[in-house]
Structure 1
């Protein structure tokens, strides 16, 4: 009997969509067509073939409207927005490239790719083939059998999991593949507009099916299901049965393709190299050509002129590791690299923070040009310290490596002071990539490898089943080893890209000097009093309980306020609140999101109470109850300050997010009271006053705006006087408030609709206010118009310090997206420059505190504000130092003002 053949069937629509959204970096062919989805798709394709070595590959696509299911359910997928034009134009291209690879494309008018995969899976299994279905859709799990495995993408296009009947059962807690349609019959699928039964989510659906056996039995025993769930189940029997039918993958599509004819690889390497090189995919041509079994010489000959001559730096076509060395050999290789002043790529396998019984080991991988050095335990710390002090260290996440020596807990000793790190000796590839594309979603080694080296980060595997190799060979390179080599290779590639982009100075002069400052602030943390948090939680808990009782009394019944469906039922069915203009969710109830409730709260007290309840419940769960568990050994909270999250250039805070505590609410004030300082110290805050408006005055050069700031008078009152045509001394609080809204709205590119919404006025009145503003400050209008024009011309907006925001929305045809891009073009020069200025200020303040020998220390940054812990004896000196340093960062046409305040805790300081 011949060996069993393996056929892989790719869900083309699913993977193209995933690739498009995973790789947001603008990519285009020489003729201007977008290619990011193609890039992700074929990186996935290569990984698929490399990992599973199928004997045949087929790719299925949807064609036309899903008529087969729309005949059952007219609203099927009706809520989905039109496909992004940049993705739409890539579908003909992917089919053409698949043709070049001699991969059959299978599509049928009116049928979905799911049904093609289902039909091929059953045919192949019957014919004795091993079938692999590569998709991102979970409803495909119903097709899993012993001989049909679902290779499911978990994240992006590179992280996959293999679903067998056993793993489907484990995932859904008792739902076997044949029961997946029954499961969807109960829970529905909002992404496809499949209704299911209202109020029954995945957990309840699984529990019901496991208890009764299948959907038919659940329906037969619906009378036994108690409460609202039982009511809904009995009322929606037809919906459940229809949903199951719609969710069932068809296996009878009229496909003419013969599986026996699907063979791979059978393509011509020269044709493939030419086709992919023409799109600019030179980084993957060799990897594709090698799939044919061609020798290296044949591949090189096929590549011809489409080689490294056009590359900005030596870009690998596959990530191959140099030899692994340990002990004295590793020490020698590292010493040689340091002697040559070469960048050493580093990554750490560290179990010390995992709290596992045996999780105490840590390994440093240090990649040099000729060797991959492995250091374990104490030797890892020694090597890492040596690199920070004397070498040149590159990594995707330098700050995390620094914390291995300088922990985020002052109770733990530090082998290296963050201030001792020379910014010229560190190169964070994640930060570099962020400067090139700040709105990307992932700056990890894996994503950077695919985007900038043109190859995926290899995943050590013992077998096609995806089991890590670590158990088989403890000396084998891990994923961190590949990340170290990737970091080393990324330095010249990203360095060239930064230079061409005009962002190299921003990287070396602002972002890298900032990194050790952030690491030190994270180590310092903020002092917090858990007893205050506990008391506030109890107090707020009592308030919440009273509010729940009051809302229940107003509704005339008890219900779960945290259930959108139950809340909707009470507000609109029981209380009869107006629903005009409101949209229903896919589950069939009116939305109760913040905007809907905010509009209703003006006229209905019970809705205002619900919003108050939500705010209190969120504050209690997010901060008062969660923060005590985050207090470390030194009795302090240590947040992480991120350089690569906010697309604007601002820093963000996470684990916990201390920037998100409401600033102007009484509840936020309560939380801040718990952030105390040690006895003999004060909490000092210094923030820039109206920095973005001052930058607007500087950048626009509008003489009236500049004069308003230089006069030292109340700026918002001065604006109100000019906009509303009244003397300054006759400006009322209401006029000032409106002028303030216009001032900040203009900075953010706000249009009439947004201003009307924020001020709760008519759109015509809002437009009139904006027109008056531009009449009063004509230089601002001219500046903003020119900013938009230049951004359209260049494809990006920039700050005073060269921080670019690439505006991919300009390449779209959707007017709303283009309008968003234009607002970004208006706002980025101000908001991005403000982010640059506060970063420069942080570096200078930290340096001056050290130079002056002060014990005061930076502990937090919140957008335009720096927070410090200051000994009482240093209050005057530290206040003056911080204020003058912040004000001296930039010389503008108007004063740059920083205002100092302080108190015994964070709340008193602000």
Structure 2
């Protein structure tokens, strides 16, 4: 690894070299901290000449929201610096908003002008274009043409549709055999990029840029872009749609949310006492270990499973509990207790914590988050602190618990304008309609016009039962059967697939 013109202390230089020497691939790459705007302009000129350039943003957060400060609209998240690379051997880092060693920062406006020039005259390579394009928009840099960018996170999904790993570090190690630096390795544990010195951050940022470039070249070599050109370009167009979707915040009825939380907590308290009375002593209802011992050892309830966990515990998940709920009133109360705890903890608490002063909350949508091509709405720890709700809205209950119909969470979502109406829309037979459009199959087109329901097959002589979804079955065969290493399973999968195809041809010749 070449350390170019960085000028920091001998101790820090030795420390960085010791860290990066653990990564063999970095030894042949050059990382540079850009110190003047003239140097940056020269780099942009060369990138435009090459026709492509990786652009990676280092920031102090993940939110793409904007806010009003002193009557000015500003970005919630600050861009701390830019990592760029147009060649696999060399990357540059341009700091603009570091709080540590701020004297290294280049003028923000002049730097942004050069970034705008790059995005206007050169194809930019991102890893997760949705985030970068949205954040650049907050700084007045508009990318509106899908032909002007590439996205390795989308290419990663197209290369391996079944993968759950779309992060840069995971893909780099898996596909390139290039394990990447962890931020804590060069920062001593500091997670905010603006609080570390550019003298350290440039190596971390530069490695991000080079690995993104190497990933793009890998996918290019695999011919993914040409082989799946239509789908890839479609996904790139959708990036702009997702950005627009996320920019429209959801209005929350806070008084209603507080009201149902109070009712739910009162019901939880009452249920807790009733459960203790039925057991004749107190215990931790949320503990699967304690619950299993009480139900199946102490009370000697019928255990509906044939096995226990690998650690010898009774299985007490909802699916297991529902099998014996009708027989035991105590189990019914435990299931109700769990539903209410999930309502208050997973949903209401996070919504209340992350709704802004005007009563709005932001959703996150991931267009490459599922095997089927559908959107996912990721939740979980960490997202809520960066301007998103942290709630998986797609897992939100459609209807309230039958025992507590007044606790309807969906009524908390309301319209911004009382004169407007909120509408819920479900696209019927969506997958089949897409397949029909792509194939131009005249029989399917005619069937859709007649209102045929493609997804459900009635019981047939072939043994397929009601409510077997054709596409779900095909997906399961392809993913789990045809990709199996077991020859017998592959043969069985092919036979089942043939049977399904025959039924398909019979129903829609």
Structure 2 partner of 1:342: 51
Provide the rounded CA distance (Å) in 2 between the counterparts of 1:574 and 1:461. Answer: 49
Q: Which has the higher contact order (CA 8 A, sep 6+)?
A: 2
Provide the rounded CA distance (Å) in 1 between the counterparts of 2:342 and 2:420. Answer: 31
Q: Is the 8 A contact 2:93 2:206 kept in 1?
A: no
Structure 2 partner of 1:678: 416
Q: Is the 8 A contact 1:346 1:483 kept in 2?
A: no
Structure 1 partner of 2:503: none
Tell me which of 644, 650, 662 is aligned to 2:374. Answer: 650
Tell me which of 528, 532, 553 is aligned to 2:252. Answer: 528
Provide the rounded CA distance (Å) in 2 between the counterparts of 1:599 and 1:632. Answer: 42
- In structure 2, the CA distance between the partners of 1:560 and 1:818, relative to structure 1 (3 Å rule), is farther
Write out per-residue CA displacement over residues 622-661 of structure 1, whole angstroms, 9 at most, x where no aligned residue: 1111112122465321121112321222221123211111
Structure 1 partner of 2:273: 549
Q: What is the number of residues matched between the two proteins?
A: 438
1:399-410 to 2 correspondence within 5 Å? 399-406=130-137
Q: Is the 8 A contact 1:395 1:427 kept in 2?
A: yes
Q: Report the alpha carbon displacement of residue 537 of structure 1 after superposing the two structures with TM.
A: 0.9
- In structure 2, the CA distance between the partners of 1:48 and 1:567, relative to structure 1 (3 Å rule), is farther
Structure 2 partner of 1:376: 96
Write out per-residue CA displacement over residues 516-565 of structure 1, whole angstroms, 9 at most, x where no aligned residue: 21112112221212222111111111222222233223323322211112
Tell me which of 118, 124, 127 is aligned to 1:393. Answer: 124
Unaligned runs of 5+ in 2: 1-16, 64-76, 98-107, 379-389, 501-507
Give the greater-gyration-radius structure (CA). 1
Q: Report the alpha carbon displacement of residue 387 of structure 1 after superposing the two structures with TM.
A: 3.9
Structure 1 partner of 2:167: 444
Q: Report the alpha carbon displacement of residue 483 of structure 1 after superposing the two structures with TM.
A: 0.8
Tell me which of 483, 486, 507 is aligned to 1:813. Answer: 486
Provide the rounded CA distance (Å) in 1 between the counterparts of 2:284 and 2:91. Answer: 61
Q: Secondary structure at the match of 1:673?
A: helix
Q: Is the 8 A contact 1:345 1:395 kept in 2?
A: yes
Q: Report the alpha carbon displacement of residue 744 of structure 1 after superposing the two structures with TM.
A: 4.0
Q: Is the 8 A contact 2:83 2:92 kept in 1?
A: yes
Q: Is the 8 A contact 1:460 1:478 kept in 2?
A: no
Tell me which of 591, 611, 623 is aligned to 2:315. Answer: 591
Q: Report the alpha carbon displacement of residue 471 of structure 1 after superposing the two structures with TM.
A: 6.5
Q: Report the alpha carbon displacement of residue 429 of structure 1 after superposing the two structures with TM.
A: 0.8
Q: Report the alpha carbon displacement of residue 618 of structure 1 after superposing the two structures with TM.
A: 0.7
Write out per-residue CA displacement over residues 427-448 of structure 1, whole angstroms, 9 at most, x where no aligned residue: 1111111111122232222223
Q: Is the 8 A contact 1:385 1:405 kept in 2?
A: no
- In structure 2, the CA distance between the partners of 1:744 and 1:512, relative to structure 1 (3 Å rule), is same
Provide the rounded CA distance (Å) in 2 between the counterparts of 1:584 and 1:535. Answer: 40
- In structure 2, the CA distance between the partners of 1:495 and 1:633, relative to structure 1 (3 Å rule), is farther
Q: Is the 8 A contact 1:529 1:674 kept in 2?
A: yes
Structure 1 partner of 2:80: 362
Provide the rounded CA distance (Å) in 1 between the counterparts of 2:453 and 2:182. Answer: 60
Structure 2 partner of 1:92: none
Q: Is the 8 A contact 2:91 2:209 kept in 1?
A: no
Provide the rounded CA distance (Å) in 1 between the counterparts of 2:216 and 2:127. Answer: 10
Provide the rounded CA distance (Å) in 2 between the counterparts of 1:593 and 1:391. Answer: 54
Structure 2 partner of 1:493: 218
Write out per-residue CA displacement over residues 374-407 of structure 1, whole angstroms, 9 at most, x where no aligned residue: 1413245444444444432212122222232346
Structure 2 partner of 1:661: 396
Structure 2 partner of 1:320: 29
Deviates more, 1:379-388 or 1:577-586: 379-388
Q: Is the 8 A contact 1:363 1:375 kept in 2?
A: yes
Q: Is the 8 A contact 1:544 1:617 kept in 2?
A: yes
Provide the rounded CA distance (Å) in 1 between the counterparts of 2:498 and 2:345. Answer: 37
Tell me which of 508, 512, 525 is aligned to 2:236. Answer: 512
Q: Is the 8 A contact 2:155 2:225 kept in 1?
A: no
1:423-822 to 2 correspondence within 5 Å? 423-458=146-181, 474=199, 477-499=202-224, 502-508=227-233, 510-579=234-303, 581-632=305-356, 635-654=359-378, 655-666=390-401, 670-679=408-417, 680-692=419-431, 711-712=450-451, 742-749=466-473, 810-813=483-486
Q: Report the alpha carbon displacement of residue 371 of structure 1 after superposing the two structures with TM.
A: 5.6
After TM superposition, the score normalised by the length of structure 2 is 0.71
Give the alignment's Cα RMSD to 1 decimal.
4.5
